[in-house]
Amino acid sequence: MALVAGDIVSPIVFIAAPSVQGPVFGIVDDAAGLDVLWNNGTFVQGLTAVSPSLDKIGAADAAVAARIVGRRVQVNDPAGQNIWGLCVCISVYTRQINGGPALARTMALLQNPTGEYFIEVLASDCTAVQ
């Protein structure tokens, strides 16, 4: 995956799990040395050795965003994942999974109704209910 300055990246996500702060995102400051400014304010230089563990974040299809962003959604798949209840979709984006556009997945960032945690899931696994 070729990164350039200004690209948004995130560590690879392996499973859907709730997080109080949500996923971590960063902005590439220098692609040659892979210097990243993370959303918590940390600036890390020289991530070249671990760059395969980063996903490139991009814009999602407008139709997907219109379908679920700002709405309450139910996570339907995999079976049993409806334990998260009805969450509010606050954003959708693509993750170029460790390698590029051929492996891009559209993700939904959900927040539970009480605002206690965030969860990131495949947007295709969500159904808008309200």
Residue boundaries of the structural domains of the chain = 8-128
| CA pair distance 9, 2, nearest whole angstrom | 11
**pLDDT grade for 92, boundaries at 50, 70 and 90:** very high
Query: What are the tens digits of pLDDT across the range 11-52?
Result: 876 655 566 677 889 999 887 778 889 988 889 888 755 545
Q: What is the spatial distance between Cα 59 and Cα 61, in angstroms, rounded to a whole number?
A: 7
pLDDT in tens, 50-65: 545 788 899 999 999 9
89 confidence band (pLDDT: 50, 70, 90): very high
Report percent pLDDT > 70 for the chain: 80
CA geometry: angle at 8 spanning 7 and 12, to 5°?
125
